[in-house]
């Protein structure tokens, strides 16, 4: 088999709907969507007819939320549209007036997303992210062993995903990973390690490399508030419920050790469960050198993007520095944090891309609107609808009703027990639906459970937020899982085995490290 054709020819990004599925998989996907189309309204109507003894607004909201969850899991319509359908019926059925329901779409968090997505689009559009990837891969010694290459790809993916869309990062790095895998496969053939029927798309080293891309993006996405949609959803709901504002710097201080621990565990899990067929390699360093040479010197557009990115991140961090120096209760901090609102900073940084010229004579700038319009508006819509459901769960008292009932039924009375319940629930839901939807559903439920038990909801709610970014077992669990599964290099059984192991170990890390880091940073006080 021609290695380049097998890997690079079939290795471009394909969504689940574009993959060449087997007849059995096709029937399952078609059946799943058909069932969801009819099951969602049936579940809602049955729930609305039950004599539950709660207020009409709570029962209506709960019934509609159940229907939306069915839509999110079965995907008869795109996930963002499922959320919009639910929001529409909330108003039509009188749960709350339209102005109140739609208010979260005007929150500063939505603008944080828009600005961050536009900055990320510039990084991808002008090749800055790809340049960074090859810079890391060219470090001395990185390309000499398969383990180092796999770990290096994880580092690259995690760092980029802290600021760039997880899915976009993985899709952008996938061709580079496949190119390196082709080099490794050819080396195995040259050394006589490829037996009869050798298939370069079924190498353990390839599965480890692809899964490192997908899982590394999820780990890196936890590092900053803008790294993943669940982060901003959870942080917003926590602030609304507890009054505790987690600054950009505080979030990173809490998340950095947890992400580092998760990354070490991830590398060990993938390399032990998918032990590379070959250890030492030659040719990768030459491949990376050749690819870097094609990039040429840093372009004007790349420099401008770096400037806009640096300005944005600096202004995001400044309020946290002021808080450390002057204190959270100082007038200086209140003024600085109020004026350097993260949403305003994000759109200001994104605006610089339309002001910094690449060719002043032709009035050409770093980014144009057609480039910016390609950002992931679906995620922004889904984020808005998730916040709407979270707010209404609180406003109608439904979250408190669910929380009190759950606490009584399960006997949840301690911080550890509620945090463990939150982590498990968030991971289970994120395996079957989007991480954003998981955070939007679980966090509003966990907060009143903690309140009912008389404990501070910060730790359980933040744990649920972190755990919502998990979901490593199936291609449908996260978009980045779908990207690497679409490469044809990762067997489904390998993804399930590796993902389940990392789910369990990651959950343990959250339970052990998160309360400690919150206490050290001083958020629990």
> Concatenated DSSP letters for 353-372?
TTTSEEEGGGTEES--HHHH
pLDDT at 10: 40
First to last CA, the chain: 62
Q: Which residues pair with 365 in a beta bridge?
A: 357
Q: How far apart are CA 192 and CA 185, in angstroms?
A: 11
The dihedral built from the CA positions of residue 377, 383, 385 and 388, taken in this order, carries a sign that is: negative
**Residue 447 · residue 403 · CB < 8 Å:** yes
**Residue 463 · residue 258 · CB < 8 Å:** no
Using DSSP, state whether 457 is helix, strand or coil: coil
Q: How far apart are CA 307 and CA 287, in angstroms?
A: 30
Q: Which residues pair with 364 in a beta bridge?
A: 359
- Stated length of the chain: 525
Residue 365 φ/ψ, nearest 5 degrees? -120, 175
Residue 145 φ/ψ, nearest 5 degrees? -130, 155
**Residue 278 · residue 148 · CB < 8 Å:** no
Per-residue pLDDT 10s for the chain (525 aa) are: 455 444 444 433 333 444 445 577 678 778 888 898 999 999 999 999 999 888 999 999 989 988 988 887 787 888 788 889 999 999 999 999 998 888 878 777 778 778 877 887 887 788 787 787 777 777 787 777 888 889 988 998 898 888 777 777 787 777 777 777 777 777 777 666 555 556 666 788 888 998 999 999 999 999 988 888 888 888 888 888 888 888 888 899 999 999 999 999 999 999 999 888 878 777 677 777 887 888 888 899 999 998 998 898 888 878 777 877 776 667 887 888 788 887 888 899 999 999 999 988 888 899 988 888 887 787 678 767 877 887 787 788 887 787 777 777 777 778 899 999 999 988 888 876 667 778 888 888 888 888 888 888 999 999 999 999 887 887 767 778 877 877 778 887 888 899 999 999 999 999 999 999 999 988 765
> Concatenated DSSP letters for 11-80?
-S---GGGS---HHHHHHHHHHHHHHHHHHHHHHHHHHHS---S-HHHHHHHHHHHHHHHHHHH-SS-HH
Q: How far apart are CA 259 and CA 188, in angstroms?
A: 34
pTM confidence score: 0.71
pLDDT at 323: 72
| Nearest C-alpha neighbor of 365 from the set 352, 375, 380 | 352
Beta-carbon count within 10 A of 462 CB: 30
> Which residue in this structure is represented by tokens 């709901």?
237
Q: How far apart are CA 346 and CA 400, in angstroms?
A: 34
> Concatenated DSSP letters for 390-421?
HHHHHHTSHHHHHHHHHHHHHT--SHHHHHHH
Whole-Å CA distances, 369 to 125, 354, 364, 374: 12, 8, 12, 9
Six-digit token pair at 331?
């007038």
| Nearest C-alpha neighbor of 366 from the set 308, 443, 295 | 308
Q: How far apart are CA 344 and CA 114, in angstroms?
A: 10
Within 415-456, where are the H helices?
A: 415-432, 435-452
**Residue 219 · residue 262 · CB < 8 Å:** yes
| Nearest C-alpha neighbor of 134 from the set 150, 116, 148, 152 | 152
**Residue 445 · residue 418 · CB < 8 Å:** no
Q: Which residues pair with 357 in a beta bridge?
A: 365
HSE-CB for 402 with a 13 A CA cutoff: 19
| Nearest C-alpha neighbor of 471 from the set 438, 444, 441, 447 | 438
> Concatenated DSSP letters for 210-263?
HHHHHHHHHHHHTSSTTSSHHHHHHHHHHHHHH-----HHHHHHHHHHHHHHHH
**Residue 28 · residue 222 · CB < 8 Å:** no
Tell me whether strands 357-359 and 364-365 are parallel, antiparallel or unpaired. antiparallel
The dihedral built from the CA positions of residue 177, 181, 182 and 184, taken in this order, carries a sign that is: positive
Angle between helix 377-395 and 108-125 (nearest 10): 160
Using DSSP, state whether 145 is helix, strand or coil: strand
**Residue 423 · residue 514 · CB < 8 Å:** no
């Amino acid at each position: 088999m021609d290695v380049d054709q097998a890997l690079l020819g079939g290795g471009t990004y394909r969504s689940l709907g574009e993959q060449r599925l087997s007849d059995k998989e096709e029937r399952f996907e078609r059946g799943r969507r058909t069932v969801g189309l009819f099951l969602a309204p049936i579940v809602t109507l049955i729930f609305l007819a039950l004599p539950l003894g709660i207020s009409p607004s709570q029962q209506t909201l709960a019934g509609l939320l159940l229907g939306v969850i069915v839509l999110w899991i079965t995907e008869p319509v795109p996930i963002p549209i499922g959320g919009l359908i639910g929001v529409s019926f909330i108003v039509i059925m009188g749960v709350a007036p339209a102005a109140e329901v739609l208010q979260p779409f005007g929150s500063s968090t939505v603008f944080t997303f828009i600005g961050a997505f536009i900055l990320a689009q510039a990084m991808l559009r002008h090749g800055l992210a790809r340049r960074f990837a090859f810079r890391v891969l060219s470090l001395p010694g990185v390309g000499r062993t398969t383990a180092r290459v796999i770990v290096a790809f994880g580092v690259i993916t995690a760092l980029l995903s802290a600021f760039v869309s997880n899915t976009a990062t993985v899709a952008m790095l996938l061709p580079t990973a496949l190119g390196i895998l082709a080099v490794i496969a050819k080396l195995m053939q040259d050394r006589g390690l490829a037996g009869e029927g050798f298939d370069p798309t079924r190498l353990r080293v390839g599965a480890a490399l692809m899964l490192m891309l997908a899982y590394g993006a999820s780990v890196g996405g936890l590092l900053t508030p803008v790294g993943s949609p669940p982060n901003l959803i959870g942080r917003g709901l926590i602030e609304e419920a507890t009054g505790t504002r987690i600054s950009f710097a505080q979030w990173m201080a809490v998340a950095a050790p947890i992400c580092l621990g998760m990354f070490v565990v991830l590398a060990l899990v993938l390399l032990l469960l998918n032990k590379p067929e070959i250890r030492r390699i030659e040719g990768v360093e030459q491949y990376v050198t050749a690819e870097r040479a094609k990039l040429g010197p840093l372009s004007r557009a790349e420099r401008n993007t770096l400037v806009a990115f640096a300005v944005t991140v600096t202004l995001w961090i400044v309020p946290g520095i002021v808080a450390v120096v002057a204190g959270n209760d100082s007038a200086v901090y209140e003024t600085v944090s109020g004026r350097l609102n993260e949403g305003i900073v994000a759109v200001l940084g994104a605006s610089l891309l339309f002001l910094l010229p690449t060719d002043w004579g032709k009035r050409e700038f770093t980014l144009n609107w057609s480039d910016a319009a390609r950002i992931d508006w679906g995620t922004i819509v889904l984020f808005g609808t998730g916040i709407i459901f979270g707010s209404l769960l609180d406003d109608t008292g439904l979250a408190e009703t669910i929380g009190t009932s759950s606490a009584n039924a399960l006997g949840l009375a301690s911080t550890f027990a509620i945090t463990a319940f939150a982590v498990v629930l968030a991971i289970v839901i994120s395996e079957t639906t989007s991480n954003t939807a998981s955070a939007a559903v679980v966090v509003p439920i966990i907060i009143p459970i903690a309140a009912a038990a008389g404990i501070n909801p910060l730790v359980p709610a933040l744990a649920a937020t972190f755990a919502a970014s998990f979901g490593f077992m199936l291609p449908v669990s996260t978009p980045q899982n779908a990207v690497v599964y679409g490469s044809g290099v990762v067997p489904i059984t390998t993804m399930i085995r590796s993902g389940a192991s990392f789910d369990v170990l990651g959950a343990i890390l959250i339970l052990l490290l998160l309360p400690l880091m919150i206490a050290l940073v001083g958020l629990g006080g």
